[in-house]
Amino acid sequence: MKKHTVSLVSLGCPKNLVDAEVMLGHLPPDRYEIITDEAQAEIIIVNTCAFIQDAQEESVDTILEVADYKKNGNCRLLVVSGCLPQRYREELERELPEVDLFVGTADAPRMVALLEEKIAGSGVRQAVSDPSFLYDHTTPRVKSSPFYSTYIKIAEGCANHCSYCIIPRLRGTLRSRSIDSVVAEARRLVSQGVAEINLIAQDITAYGADRSDGANLPDLLRALTKIDELHWLRLLYAYPDGVSDELIDLVAGEEKICSYLDIPLQHIDDEMLKQMNRRVSEQQVRELVARLRERIPDLTLRTSFIVGFPGETQEQFEKLLSFVEEGHFDRLGVFRYSREEGTVAAELPEQVPERVKNERYKRLMKAQARISFRKNRALVGRVEPVLVEGVSEETELLLRGRSVRQAPDVDGQVYITAGRAEVGEIVPLRITDSSEYDLIGEIVED
């Protein structure tokens, strides 16, 4: 029997990437062949993001671009999945006649049945269900990231209800996997050659709070560090009030847990934090940062901030800028506030003009670029573990990789100017030079 060819385009965050891999995993390999060339695929799936306006626009642009393959390629079925249909199911059905099937964030288990109906010439066009699905170690998953690195989603949904955020509507409330399930998936992936596991969720520090078996993040980490061939375990997206002393001690003391934390803080001004419905104050944030720096030697600290939140005054922004200029953070993401329909913040008065948001964004990024450059220069001469990822995109004469200080996709790279290593190997590298975001070095052969 001839197989149907399927190509998938995944947009947005690593959590979306895992969703896409799970979706592909549900397609039986005896009936569906996954290919990377959209022009040759009979079925194209676009897995979308709808977190902020820019992501929504990118999703729609990609859908329209891919839809051209229905005229000039082999595409018979165009499927749009994920956050965008979950949020705008009726509008999309009306505005995008090119799309044959819409599915939501929790519809991976239904994908085969829905596709089979469509292939047979019947079936519904909109099949978005309420977000309740949670994948586990038994769920089929087609890994699309490099063989040596992967993401594991330890929980789905969120119960924080920040006033600017649409996530609980798109993904439901917090649903945590069991420790045994996460460990079983990790063991399987490590047995296939994975050296680096990045733990993700909307808020990893909330992991287990919804369960009745006592599961929590420190216990999960202790179980994962017992996996022999796992080398790097990285923690992403931690809520500040969930970073406990127990967690700090684990990051400081466990060799396999990278001394790297991503803790989105969003602002430093108390009134802004209150309006954002964040559960922390300036004093608590400062105490946390000081505690982390004191107790985790050589910590790489990443955060993100929002500029232009409704009511943000110039004085409040200057306070945030001064806080950043104090140099607490090695990595920093800045978001211009996006007024999202259905959120509490969208109804707040004193919405900030776009030009003001852009100006504040540029000033904050410029300030952090100077700090990042200074921190990278301080690494010159040191020997750091680096995960080799392949040949540089700039020139085939250089290898590239990532330091233990650099998370995939969001941080910089290391350019390797001397020495030999295999892709997926972790090697000692002496840092010889740096830029604002990237490092340059030579493999220590001894």
Q: What angle do CA 435, 441, 442 make, to 5 degrees?
A: 170
Q: Work out whether strand 399-403 and strand 383-391 pair parallel, antiparallel, or are unpaired.
A: antiparallel
- Which residues, at least 6 apart from 271, have a Cβ–Cβ distance to it below 8 Å? 311, 316
**Residue 165 annotated as binding?**
yes
**Cα 291 from chain centroid (whole Å):** 26
Strands (E), 330-422: 331-336, 383-391, 399-403, 414-418
**Residue 258 annotated as binding?**
no
**Residue 75 annotated as binding?**
no
What are the helix (H) ranges across 225-332?
245-253, 270-275, 282-295, 314-325
**Rg (alpha carbons) of the chain, rounded to whole number:** 22
- Which residues, at least 6 apart from 402, have a Cβ–Cβ distance to it below 8 Å? 386, 387, 389, 408, 411, 413, 414
Query: CB of 223 within 8 A of CB of 179?
Result: yes
Please return the burial class of 104, using the count of CB atoms within 10 Å of its CB with bins 0-12, 13-18 and 19+: buried
Beta-bridge partner residues of 414: 401, 439
Angstrom distance (rounded) from CA 214 to CA 305: 32
**Residue 162 annotated as binding?**
yes
Annotated binding site for [4Fe-4S] cluster: 13, 49, 83, 158, 162, 165
Binding site membership: which residues? 13, 49, 83, 158, 162, 165
